[in-house]
Amino acid sequence: MQKLPNLFTILRLLLVPIIVISYLFADGTNWFIFTLFFIAGLSDWIDGTVARKTGAITEFGKLWDPIADKLVIGAVLVLLTIDGVIPIFITVIILIRESAVTIARLAVLKHGVLAADRGGKLKTMLQGFSLLFLLSPYPLDGIALPMLYLATVITLITGVRYFGQLYELRSKNAS
Task: Return the pLDDT at 1.
Answer: 56
Task: Return the pLDDT at 87.
Answer: 97
Task: Return the pLDDT at 120.
Answer: 85
Task: Return the pLDDT at 112.
Answer: 62
Task: Return the pLDDT at 57.
Answer: 80
C-alpha–C-alpha distance, residues 68 and 73, integer Å: 9
Dump pLDDT digits (tens) for 54-83: 888 888 888 888 899 999 999 999 999 999
DSSP state of 29: S
- Could you tell me if 94 and 73 are in contact, meaning their C-beta atoms sit under 8 angstroms apart? yes
User: Which residue positions in the chain have pLDDT lower than 70?
Assistant: 1-2, 28-29, 110-116, 173-175
Task: Return the pLDDT at 113.
Answer: 62
- What separation in angstroms does the CA of 80 have from each of 86, 94, 123, 134, 169? 6, 13, 18, 8, 36
C-alpha–C-alpha distance, residues 80 and 75, integer Å: 9
Threshold 0.85, pTM exceeds: yes
Domain boundaries along the sequence of the chain: 4-174
Task: Return the pLDDT at 127.
Answer: 96
Task: Return the pLDDT at 150.
Answer: 97
Rounded to 5°, angle at Cα 126 from 124 and 130? 120
Task: Just give the CATH number of 4-174.
Answer: 1.20.120.1760
C-alpha–C-alpha distance, residues 161 and 171, integer Å: 15
Rounded to 5°, angle at Cα 121 from 118 and 122? 85
Would you give the distance in Å from CA 87 to the centre of its chain?
A: 18
